[in-house]
Structure 1
Amino acid sequence: MIFRRRPKNAPAPEVEETSEAEETTPEESDPRESDAEVSDADESGEGELDIETLDSLDWRGAGPWDITEIDLDLEPLPGRARIDLGSMIITGFGGAELRLQVAEETQQIISAMLIHGDSALELGAYAAPRSGGLWPELREEIIEAATEAGGSAALVEGPFGVELRRILPVTTPDGEQGYQPSRMWVVEGPRWLLRGILYGQAAVLEGLEPPVSDLLTAFREVVVRRGDEAKAPGDLLPLSIPADVDPAGNQTPH
């Protein structure tokens, strides 16, 4: 179930496979050292968050896109390159590294992570009901799970309506206890749901200034290929390594 487990001449981002056990994100920061505050009020601090109104609006006017909505024959902007991972087509940008997260027990690719400096955006695509409405159903479950884990979570207004922010306790590689903040963007399209989770510096900054803006652009440029297979809501849409990119990050010329 979703969330329950943890131009042709442009250079492609480096592609690296990591297992769930080896999964890395930019260094965890203690949210108590940041000025970020997570609450159920909007970022301006004016009153309660109008969740019902935010959920009723369409937030995909500038992407992310369904495969039927975009012409892939058109070249991306200079300095950017598309990488076709099957259910997701990601557009990389200069200085970004792409890591594919692999489940040890199945060796299935479960998510893709764009890393840029000390920030990261983890991307995953899932099946959703034709009628939509999966994201509102899942939020309370995510908040409850964060609380049970000893962390916290809250809803704020973000670039795609309701944004979920979490602070989860983690154990660092040297055995120390710390906290990992994150920001979760979710958009629903035709029978699919795209999730993006910000980690690192981008997770503790307010607003959409860099590095958040760079990862926001990358999220908007994702193209989802749902396929016609019958899938239960929340099922992961399968990812694959493209034929023209090897795990060492070398792209075959077209």
Structure 2
Amino acid sequence: MIFRRTKKRSDEPELDDTATPETTDDLDAGDAPGPDAEGTPDGEVELDLDALDAADWRAQGPFDIAELDEDDDLAGTPEMPRIDLGAMVLAGFPGAELRLQMSEETQQIVSAMLVLGDSALELGAYAAPRSGGLWSELREEIAAAATEAGGSASLAEGPFGVELRRLIPVSTPEGEQGYQPSRMWVAEGPRWLLRGIVYGQAALEDGLGSPVAEMLTAFRSVVVRRGDEAMAPGDLLPLSMPQNLVAADEPPA
């Protein structure tokens, strides 16, 4: 297993958190390329950010729970089971491993990670304004945090509009220095924002073929259950242990 971190230090991680799962296989040694003033690498065509932000990227998911058909079974099927974490309902797929990341302080679930081979997708859901637009406000701060940490960040057109790509400096267990690549996908729904961070081999691929395709399908399959409670934009939506796992831990009657 290339991803070893299973705990977070905060139960409400900020959206500009630059911490990444530890890895020994996907570190790029040497200097990280720096973005230009517009947040894109030198030589690339400047993106029309306004047009990308204005487009609807959720036609194929992720969905709000209110957008599901009445006959849609949240339990899924034996081949494609769904995992109900409260604020997020995930769709499992063959060969994938689910890792729930806990806060060391509160022992609450703060994110979920789906791992398949040498790739992983970390998922977190957050409260957002009813008017939307939170992603356009936050990505500059996230990019700046990456560069301040000694890494780099750039914007690209991705499957959900503006995609943020980062290289964050990390150390291997052997003490070697390198850079952890990641791709950040963000989808905004009714009063929520879903963030997916792709790590590993899928973060190194430019296209949408395998292994990116599996991560993309997993992200699109998420169902968000926002709830009606008032929350500040950027607050983490609460996650809970899946009921089938809770039941498995209980002693038999």
State the TM-score, normalizing by the size of structure 1. 0.82
Other-structure match for 1:219? 219
Quick check: 1:3 aligned with 2:1?
no
- Match of 1:238, SS state, is coil
Residue aligned with 1:80, SS: coil
**d(CA) in 2 for partners of 1:238, 1:231:** 11
CA contact (8 A) 1:26 1:118 kept: no
Q: Is residue 26–residue 120 contact of structure 1 (8 Å, CA) maintained in 2?
A: no
Contact 1:181–1:200, Cα closer than 8 Å, also in 2:
yes
TM superposition shift of 1:70: 1.1
Equivalent-residue separation in structure 2 for 1:87 and 1:238 (angstroms): 6
For residues 24-63 of structure 1, what are the structure 2 equivalents within 5 Å?
A: 24=21, 26-31=23-28, 47-63=45-61
Return the alpha-carbon distance in structure 2 between the equivalents of residues 73 and 182 of structure 1. 33
Q: CA deviation at 1:73?
A: 2.2
AA aligned to 1:155 is L
1:171: Cα distance to partner? 1.3
Listed as ranges, the matches of 1:15-26 within 5 Å are 24=21, 26=23
- Distance in 1 of aligned mates of 2:206 and 2:144: 24
SS at 1:137's partner residue? Answer: helix
* SS at 1:217 equivalent: helix
Q: Distance in 2 between matches of 1:65 and 1:37?
A: 35
Q: Which moved more, 1:47-56 or 1:180-189?
A: 47-56
Q: Is the 8 A contact 1:38 1:156 kept in 2?
A: no
* Long gaps (5+) in structure 2: 1-12
Residues 28 and 178, structure 1, Cα contact 8 Å, conserved in 2: no
Between the aligned residues of both structures, percent identity stands at 65
Q: Residues 38 and 147 of structure 1: is their aligned pair in 2 closer, same or farther, counting only changes over 3 Å?
A: closer
Distance 1:141 1:38 in 2: 14
Deviation at 1:246, TM superposition (A): 4.7
Give 1:213 shift.
0.2
Matches within 5 A, 1:223-238: 223-238=223-238
The root-mean-square deviation of aligned C-alpha atoms, in Å, is 2.7
Matches of 2:66 and 2:24, distance apart in 1: 38
With structure 2 as the length reference, what TM-score do the two structures score?
Answer: 0.83
Residue 79 (structure 1) shift: 2.1
Per-residue CA deviation, residues 122-160 of structure 1 (Å, 9 max, x unaligned), is 000000000000000001100110010000001000000
SS of residue in 2 equivalent to 1:93: coil
Q: Does 2:179 align with 1:179?
A: yes
Residue of structure 2 equivalent to 1:10: none
Residue 107 (str. 1) matches residue 107 (str. 2) = yes
Separation in 2, partners of 1:142, 1:4: 4
More deviation, 117-126/78-87: 78-87
Gaps of 5+ in 1: 7-19
In the aligned structure 2, how far is the partner of 1:171 from the partner of 1:88?
Answer: 32
Q: CA deviation at 1:174?
A: 2.1
Do 1:49 and 1:157's aligned partners in 2 also have CA atoms closer than 8 Å? yes
Deviation at 1:4, TM superposition (A): 3.8
